[in-house]
Structure 1
Amino acid sequence: MSASRTERTGWPLLTVLAVTLAVLVLIAAGSGQLSVPPSEVLGSILHRLGIELGPMPSHPQGDNALWTIRFPRIALAVVVGASLAVAGVLLQGVFGNPLAEPAVIGVSSGAAVGACAVIVAGVSALGNFTVAAAAFLGGLLTTMLVYLLSRSGGRTEVITLVLTGIAVNAFAMGVIAFLTFVADPQAREQIVFWQLGSLNGATAPAVGAVVPLAAAGLVIAVTMARRLDLLALGEGPAQHLGVNVERLRLIVVVAVALLVGSGVAFAGIVGFVGLVVPHLIRMIAGPAHHRLVLASALGGAVVLVGADLLARTAVEHAELPLGMLTSLVGGPFFFWLLRRTRARQGGWA
């Protein structure tokens, strides 16, 4: 796609994604066992803003259901979806590889180890936030461990970082298997449910805990956009243009840990959003990271709000695991992307 064409499609794409997200939020908020028409959802939002325009929910518990259950869940889906997608943008940019995604550097598996450990140990020092805090710290520590282990001679090679991440992921999976084996039936059920991914536990305090961490990661991503554009020219040219490549990689690793760690802390493992969304956005809007970060954030939010809506409504009186749905879509997409990349490069040798 030419530069002029991507310039023309980049910003209109942001508008389309923003409108799509707004419409999807109205639909998702009104969908469920207690149905609320979109016009009443909008009326309730405007009422909270002090604007008396549009009908309020006709059901006696409609307004309470929206603001106590539905909106916190949707807000968490927006934040987690945006965080995972932007994390994918950062990793694909710093690796120079469209196959890169957050799980590569171990943040998801590290978060799972942290969560599983406190579940098995029965720790509840922070109440309902204990598992989330352990997951975030586990993801952050694992990410930093992968980064430090991959350094040699004062610099980090991308291939070493990827291979170290694979090794740490394998070890983490073994730890999770052991914790699942020694857990009692109740803890084992909680571990499995957490690993499958869900927004069922979304609350206003949970959203309040996630937003600052995710916002910090998003701000870092926006400020690093130009340097990632220069890095795309090659490591040597980027350094000649004033980019400290090693410092950039460290900042990206920290930002990814913030974004993914805060997301999986309350939502569990939700795979492939960080792979699928950035790649599709890049195909439409081009490689410029400033637009790519913003559009991927909106695209990730759209995908996760839509996936959660499907998870809640596809089966009556039941909720499908969110991570299962994203994997069912993301797995085949990854296979297609793998073959497409291999064909373009004429093989991997």
Structure 2
Amino acid sequence: MLSSRHNKNIFLLFLIFFLIVVSLISLSYGQINIPLKNTLATVLYHLGMWDGDNAFTKEQDAVIWFIRMPRVLIGIMVGAGLGISGAVMQGLFNNPLVDPGITGVSAGAAAGAVLAIALGWSAENILVMPMFALGGSISAVFLTVFLAMRRGKIPVMTLLLAGVVVGMLLGAVTAGILTVMNEQKLQSYLFWIIGGLDYRRWEHVYIAVPPILTGILIMLAAARHLNVLAMGETEARAVGMAVLPFRMGIMLTAAAVTAVSVCVSGNIGFVGLIIPHMMRILLGPDHRLLLPASALAGAVFLVGCDLLGRVIIPPAEIRVGIMTALIGAPYFLYLLRRMQRNF
């Protein structure tokens, strides 16, 4: 663990710098490689900070700004959203094995997406399936909370069990719809459920950025309250904290951010599970540092995985959902083994 507050702040600055570097490399490399200086000139030109005279070609501009830039921005926002949501959920439940999908968000998104495909509406507009996925996610969260609430309280274990039940129920609904879909629609669903950033457009950026960014800011503002809650509900109530409203509000915020992330990228696992745990090992339990670090590290991890998936076996591309699983699953198994040794 990093010892001093100064070293921890330097680590946060390093994450910001590393995110910029990884993003620029991701913009430059793929099936068409573009020199980094041309990539930087293109970005600065579109930001109004460079005249762009003879610094890049029209083809390079089209590839960077209209194909790769939306992909990288979605990767940054989804990675940051999943990372910070995982840190919040682990803090709320005081359990390092909790991830943002524990409330049935991912299962709800899958059910909504497969319904949009089965009805044939997803082919009419690229925004239909993300909106159905978002609606399914939010519905799953409210159903989970409704099942778990008793006399105005939500026991942690009851919420976890309700999330599992809702996930299984929606999984059965999804499987039932899949059995009556034709092969073309089935392939469309499988392409989405694996999770990926390919074929993202600026329309997806406009959908994802405002709600995810708003949710991230809300969770960052709640960092001090999470520190108080970590001392125990009795201590939190003693200092005048409204525990249930805060727990509900911050949990729904994390669930909403996860829902928006899933709806624009598909089901990408392990980001909200392993990244917060790694940041907690490095920085400690203080959420004032843990939350921004988890957001930045999640963004770096997802953009980096997407980059690796594009360059590791060219011209083929490994989708980012597969890459995160290949990297995250071994760490998760290591975490399980270490926890078993502690008991």
- Residues of 2 paired with 1:173 and 1:262: CA distance? 19
Alignment of 1:63-142 (within 5 A): 63-124=61-122, 127-142=125-140
Partner amino acid for 2:242? N
Residue 163 of structure 2: which of 162, 165, 168 is its match?
Answer: 165
Residue 292 of structure 1: which of 287, 290, 293 is its match?
Answer: 290
> Which residue number corresponds to residue 233 of structure 1?
231
Deviation string for 1:254-274 (max 9, x for gaps)? 112221111111110000100
| Alpha carbons of structure 1 residues 56 and 205: separation in structure 2 relative to 1, 3 Å | farther
> Which residue number corresponds to residue 61 of structure 1?
59
- Residues of 2 paired with 1:30 and 1:330: CA distance? 26
Contact 1:30–1:38, Cα closer than 8 Å, also in 2: yes
> Which residue number corresponds to residue 276 of structure 2?
278
> Which residue number corresponds to residue 198 of structure 2?
200
Which deviates more from structure 2 when the two are superposed, residues 42-51 or residues 52-61?
52-61
- Residues of 2 paired with 1:315 and 1:138: CA distance? 35
Which deviates more from structure 2 when the two are superposed, residues 216-225 or residues 81-90?
216-225
Contact 1:6–1:285, Cα closer than 8 Å, also in 2: no
| TM superposition shift of 1:6 | 4.8
**TM-score, with structure 2 as normaliser:** 0.95
Structure 2: 5+ residue stretches without partners: none
Residue 339 of structure 2: which of 311, 325, 341 is its match?
Answer: 341
- Residues of 1 paired with 2:46 and 2:267: CA distance? 33
Which deviates more from structure 2 when the two are superposed, residues 312-321 or residues 77-86?
312-321
Which deviates more from structure 2 when the two are superposed, residues 313-322 or residues 283-292?
313-322
Contact 1:276–1:330, Cα closer than 8 Å, also in 2: yes
Which deviates more from structure 2 when the two are superposed, residues 74-83 or residues 195-204?
195-204
Contact 1:36–1:57, Cα closer than 8 Å, also in 2: no
- Residues of 1 paired with 2:311 and 2:16: CA distance? 23
Q: CA RMSD in A?
A: 1.8
| TM superposition shift of 1:43 | 1.5
Which deviates more from structure 2 when the two are superposed, residues 299-308 or residues 31-40?
31-40
- Residues of 1 paired with 2:30 and 2:257: CA distance? 29
Q: Which runs of 4+ in 1 moved over 6 A?
A: none
Which deviates more from structure 2 when the two are superposed, residues 242-251 or residues 53-62?
53-62
| TM superposition shift of 1:250 | 0.9
Residue 299 of structure 2: which of 284, 298, 301 is its match?
Answer: 301
The alignment covers a number of residue pairs equal to: 343
| Alpha carbons of structure 1 residues 134 and 6: separation in structure 2 relative to 1, 3 Å | farther
> Which residue number corresponds to residue 243 of structure 1?
241
Structure 1: 5+ residue stretches without partners: none
| TM superposition shift of 1:51 | 3.3
Partner amino acid for 1:208? Y
| TM superposition shift of 1:318 | 2.1
- Residues of 1 paired with 2:205 and 2:157: CA distance? 36
Contact 1:119–1:191, Cα closer than 8 Å, also in 2: yes
Contact 1:40–1:56, Cα closer than 8 Å, also in 2: no
